[in-house]
Amino acid sequence: MKVALVGQPNSGKSTLFNAVAGYRSLTSNFAGTTVEYTHGQARVGGAVLELIDLPGLYSLTPTSPVEEVSRDYLLGGDWDVIVNVLDASQLARSLELTLELLDLESPLVVCLNMMDEAARKGMTIDTHALEIALGVPVVEAIGARGRGIIETFRTAQEVASTGTRPHAFVYAPEAESMVEGLAEKIAAAAQGQPAAIPKESGVGTEESEARSQQSGARSQESEARSQKSGHSPALDGAALSCAVGHCSSACCGHPPAREGQQGPRVTAAVAVLPVLPPAVSPPTSSPALQFQSQITNRKSQIAEFPPPRFRALQLVQSDPSHMPTGIGHRTFDPGLRTSDLGHSFVEWAQAEIAVRTGQPADAAISGARHAACLTLFERVARVARPRADWREQVDRLAMHPIWGYAVLMGVFLGFFRLIFDVGKLGEDRILNLFDALVAALAQHMNAQGALFAAAKGAVLGTAGAVAIVLPYLLPFLVGLAILEDIGYLSRVGYLMDAAMHRLGLHGTATLPILVGYGCSVPAVMATRILTTRRDRFIAAFLAVLVPCSARMTVIFALVGFYLGANYALGIYILNIMVVAVAGHVLARLWPEISPGMLMEVPAYRVPAPRVVALKTWWRLREFVLVAFPLLVVGSVVLSLVDFYGWQHGINAALSPLTALLGLPRSVGLTLIFGVLRKELSLLMLMQALGTTHVLGAMTAAQILIFTLFVTFYLPCMATLASMMRELGWRLTLAASGALLALAIVVSLAARGVLKFL
Amino acid sequence: MNLYEAGDHAELRILLITGGWEVRRSFNQMGIQPGDRVRVLRRAPFGGPLEIDNKGTRVAVGKQLAEKIRVEVLP
């Protein structure tokens, strides 16, 4: 039995999941960190449940790729029951998703999580009243303390095994008949019948209404059968549309969702009203054959799930202007969208609703849902005076217009200092360990052979990866997870929004750029939380521009060691300036009227060690999966290059570049190594120069220019791979070209300045 | 008066959310709709976002978006 955990971000789904499914999921206190859904198995009351923990989503109309993952999974229908987890302290807002989930007319259990948080806010919730109003079981829980979790899953199991399903929610009366008409068309199309086009009046005429009322009882049965058994029964479209369109109203004898608890329905208004004459005539184009065949080909999917009424609602709420915005506009009925008939029918329905309600169709529907949520909230919840809280005091300081920035500086300076100190402790020991391994290998193999060169490359590749991952990336990710889980990163987003505007981004993009200081790979992946493709590109570009921990080692080992810590700090400051200019330029090159920041500010929470561990592991895993194989293979290849003595050719090929930058010709190869792994350019530099005393072989100016170039030029292969995945090859190629050009410009400028000095 | 111009700590009622489908959808996701009573808790400097309270849910709203919300001050 498959149980899908669905909830808005920060509602505590993953806490519930982890409590029963073990160490396999990820929870967070920052919207959008569970980027892929997680499976786990749990034994509840003797039965084995398969749990699917989906990324948080605010509504079934997604605004980011993260939300799309959840939406697509839910609409795929590969589950038996939904457990909708709500943050009880945010009940009014959380109910909006619940009402949307009711539209799926599938087994549903509501879990009111964080009841303690609600009590702290002075809220008392009448769970029984909520249960009656929604028509689905509601279970109270405090996930963090393990309360109510087993009850939730037990109830889910019960609901799934009996197959009880709730009613769809009923929206504004002015919109209902249009939605119903559209649902009827979808249902008819699913049956392979030509969709009847109304000539004069709209859909949902009195005649069809009467017909559907009659066939109501029959259609419920068939509908129940069709959803459970996975094949579509022979139904006429009108009957199915009744099942999905009308039974939500109290007029039909729909079986109660739970025995003895069928209460009054939450409706924005009376469900079925006399249908108004349409203000706009529907289009009378001929039923396109193409439209029919498209639909019938997808018959098995469409006839059953998602319900036609749900599809109709989604279509009516979709963007009327069809502006390409990158995401969230994939509709479920290409036929109804793209064919002459369907496309214009949806538009006609939208126009009709707009005329009747005096506002855009999507606003009419969501407004009705919102009003219903507030009514429901007022009916089931009492709000008294909140208890005095230290958290508000903390925010007075942490979000203060002046002190907030002081706290921010302090937190991050301390944070990076700590990582650097921890990292230094581990790095040498790890590298020594692997050096010993290479020495051991040399004794057991022919040290002159190509095989040994390959093995040595593999060991050193692993060593480099481990020496970066363990000492620097691991503490960085742990620290970041702690800051995130406390809820501090949201405050950072709030404080940094104005500054990020200068880079053409919003406060939400602070996270990827901060992660970039640790490792570019998870940083690029973290751009998924952003809503537009343009924002994701700019954020990814800037995130790979900031020096990651590998480049940090190069900067400190070369410039920091030979020229002094002030020069190293200078590179960081220069980098921040370059990031600012690059962001500014990119924002000009790719202007977009961006909707701006709209971000929840979650309550501070004490981070749970297990959650921090899981999140760290999750991000580390992404690095390991993408980067490790590339590092090892690349290292082997370069060892062989070295073995066969191809470096002279490479150096010759790169000599125009090295000459331009005024660097020794022999460093050409190290730049290739640097693409493989940034810190390799350091090791290879020593090898290429034939000495560990770099200052003897290169001048101070050359060291500085070399380091600057390595800091800015191409990202490493692992980063490129993750950029390809997130942005596609065109943008990755464009970004790589731009970075290379940028590195040359910065290095030449530095050369010019140094000459002048 | 738009939300950004409204004073801190005053009780406000949202009259209208101007702007297109995207804007409406974003606010809708955060549970902010016309008719809601909200309060500005604080604002970030240099044209930064506002933090508003809407029935216990705290949301940071960027300046551009705040300017798209028409509000009235409740007595």
Query: By three-state DSSP, how is residue B5 classified?
Result: coil
pLDDT of residue A190: 62
Mutation site, A405, A497, A534, interface B, largest B CB count within 10 A:
A497
Spell out the residues 6+ positions from residue B53 whose beta carbon is closer than 8 angstroms to its own.
Answer: B38, B39, B41
User: How many separate domains does chain B show?
Assistant: 1
Number of Cβ within a 10 Å radius of residue B75: 4
Looking at residues A259-263, what average pLDDT do you find? 37
Nearest CA in chain A to B60: A599
Q: Which of A114-118, A187-191, A716-720, B15-19 has the lowest mean pLDDT?
A: A187-191
Question: For A558, which DSSP code?
Answer: I
Indicate whether B50 belongs to any domain. Answer: yes
**For B29, which residue in chain A has the nearest alpha carbon?**
A58
Cβ contacts of A326 on chain B, cutoff 8 Å: none
CB contact A408 to B (< 8 Å) = no
Percentage of chain A with pLDDT > 70? Answer: 77
| Spatial distance between the Cα atoms of A195 and A185, rounded to a whole number of angstroms | 6
Of A575 and A313, more confident: A575
Q: What DSSP assignment string belongs to A643-681?
A: HHTTHHHHHHHTHHHHHHHT--GGGHHHHHHHHH-TTHH
Choose from A591-595, A625-629, B49-53 the range with maximum mean pLDDT: B49-53
pLDDT at A511 over 50: yes
Percent share of chain A, pLDDT over 90: 15
Suggest the residue from B9, B40, B55, B59 to mutate for an interface test with chain A (most A CBs closer than 10 A). Answer: B55
Q: Do A498 and B29 touch (CB under 8 A)?
A: no
Q: Does A285 touch chain B (CB under 8 A)?
A: no
Q: Do B61 and A597 touch (CB under 8 A)?
A: yes
Give residue-wise pLDDT tens across range A475-496: 888 888 888 888 898 899 999 9
List CB contacts (< 8 A) between A121 and chain B: 56
| pLDDT exceeds 90 at position A112 | yes
**Beta-sheet strand order (sheet of B57-61):** A598-600, B57-61, B50-54, B37-43, B11-17, B69-73
Higher pLDDT, A47 or A220: A47
The pLDDT value recorded for residue A322 is 45
Nearest to B62 among A58, A490, A497 (CB): A497
| CATH number assigned to the domain comprising residue B47 | 2.30.30.90
**Phi, psi (deg, nearest 5) at residue A24:** -130, -5
pLDDT in tens, B24-71: 888 988 889 998 999 999 999 888 899 999 888 899 999 889 999 999
Distance CA A159, CA A140 (A): 16
Nearest 5 degrees, angle CA B21-CA B25-CA B28?
Answer: 140
Query: Which of A:308-327 have CB within 8 Å of B?
Result: 319-321, 323, 325
Whole-angstrom distance, CA of residue A170 vs CA of residue A247: 10
Distance from CA of A112 to the nearest CA of B (A): 16
Residue A120 reports pLDDT greater than 60: yes
Q: Say which amino acid occupies A53.
A: D
Q: What is the pLDDT of residue A265?
A: 39
Q: How far apart are CA A731 and CA A737, in angstroms?
A: 10
Q: Is A700 on the interface with B (CB under 8 A)?
A: no
Q: Is residue B2 one of the residues assigned to a domain?
A: no
DSSP secondary structure letters along A187-252: HHHHTTPPPPPPSSS-SS-HHHHHHHHHTHHHHHHHHHHHHHHSS-----HHHHHHHHHTTTSTTS
Least confident of A22-36, A240-254, A318-332, B23-37: A240-254
CB atoms closer than 10 angstroms to residue A714:
20
Gap between the Cα atoms of A305 and A230, Å rounded: 9
In a domain, B37, yes or no: yes
Task: Give the CA distances from residue A489 to residues A483, A493, A602, B16, in Å, rounded to whole numbers and listed in that order.
Answer: 6, 6, 10, 31
Helix (H) / strand (E) element for A428: namely helix A403-444
Tokens of A11: 């509602």
Q: How far is A342 from chain B (nearest CA, A)?
A: 21
The number of beta carbons lying within 10 Å of the beta carbon of residue A278 is: 21
State whether B51 and A96 contact (CB < 8 Å): no
- Nearest CB among A90, A404, A507 relative to B60 is that of A507
Whether A203 shows a pLDDT value over 60: the answer reads: no
- What is the value of ipTM here, to two decimals? 0.94
Query: Is residue B1 included in any domain, yes or no?
Result: no
A596 touches chain B (CB under 8 A): yes
Q: What is the pLDDT of residues A439-452, one digit of tens each?
A: 888 788 777 778 88
Q: Say which residue, A474 or A236, is predicted with more confidence.
A: A474
- At residue A165, the 3 state secondary structure works out as coil
φ, ψ dihedrals at A56, nearest 5° = -60, 140
Residue B4 covered by a domain? no
Give the whole-angstrom CA distance, residue A599 versus residue B46: 18
Cα A718 to chain centroid distance, Å, stands at 20
Please state, in angstroms and rounded to a whole number, the distance separating the CA atoms of residues A87 and A14. 12
What is the chain A residue with the closest CA to B67? A596
Per-residue CA distances from A494 to A76, A404, B10, B46, B54 (Å): 36, 10, 21, 12, 17
B58 in any annotated domain:
yes
- Amino acid symbol at A417: R
Contact A600 B63 (CB under 8 A): no
Domain with B37, as residue range(s), is: 11-73
To the nearest whole Å, the CA of A36 is away from the closest chain B CA by 21
Q: What is residue B17's DSSP assignment?
A: E
Q: Which amino acid is at A150?
A: I
The answer to whether residue B31 sits within a structural domain is: yes
pLDDT tens-digit map of A54-72: 888 888 887 777 777 788 8
* Amino acid at the residue A135: G
A28 contacts A611 by C-beta, under 8 angstroms: yes
Q: What integer is the mean pLDDT of A561-590?
A: 88
B49: in domain: yes
Predicted pLDDT at A227: 42
Q: What pLDDT band is residue A245 in, cutting at 50, 70 and 90?
A: very low
* pLDDT score for A192: 58
- Largest Cα span, chain B: 32
A·B CB contacts under 8 A: 128
Query: How far B70 CA lies from chain A's nearest CA (Å)?
Result: 16
**What type of residue is B37?**
R
Is a pLDDT exceeding 90 seen at residue A744? yes
Q: Is the pLDDT of residue A333 over 70?
A: no
Are B44 and A321 in contact (CB < 8 Å)?
Answer: no
- Tell me the nearest-neighbour CA distance from A500 into chain B, angstroms: 10
Kindly list the distances between the CA atom of residue A448 and the CA atoms of A249, A443, A519, A644, in Å, as whole numbers in the listed order. Answer: 83, 11, 36, 11
Q: Does A493 contact B at CB distance below 8 Å?
A: yes
- Is residue A545 very low, low, confident or very high in pLDDT (cuts 50, 70, 90)? very high
pTM of the predicted model, to two decimals? 0.74
H or E element, residue A40: strand A38-44
Contact A38, A45 (CB under 8 A): no
The reply to whether residue B21 touches residue A360, judged by beta carbons under 8 angstroms, is yes
Mean pLDDT of A317-334: 45
Q: Do A360 and B24 touch (CB under 8 A)?
A: yes
Chain B residues touching residue A595 (CB < 8 angstroms): 19, 22-23, 26, 64-65
Q: Which two tokens stand for residue A76?
A: 């795929």
Q: What is the DSSP letter of A53?
A: E
Strand partners, A124: A382
Instruction: Please tell me the distance from the alpha carbon of residue A260 to that of residue A249, in angstroms, as a whole number.
Output: 18
Which tokens sit at A266? 């939450």
B13: chain A residues, CB-CB within 8 Å: none
Nearest alpha-carbon partner for A706 in A557, A582, A558? A558
Q: What is the mean pLDDT of residues A211-217?
A: 40
Domains of chain A: 2-162 (3.40.50.300), 173-382 (no CATH), 403-756 (no CATH)
Helix (H, G, I), strand (E, B), or coil: what is residue A108? strand
Q: Do A399 and B44 touch (CB under 8 A)?
A: yes
Q: Which of A146-150, A611-615, A640-644 has maximum average pLDDT?
A: A146-150
pLDDT of residue A732: 93
- A172 in contact with chain B, both atoms CB, cutoff 8 A: no
**d(C-alpha A35, C-alpha A707), whole Å:** 35
| Cα of B23 to nearest chain A Cα, Å | 6
Quote the mean pLDDT of chain A: 75
Q: Is the pLDDT of residue A473 over 80?
A: no
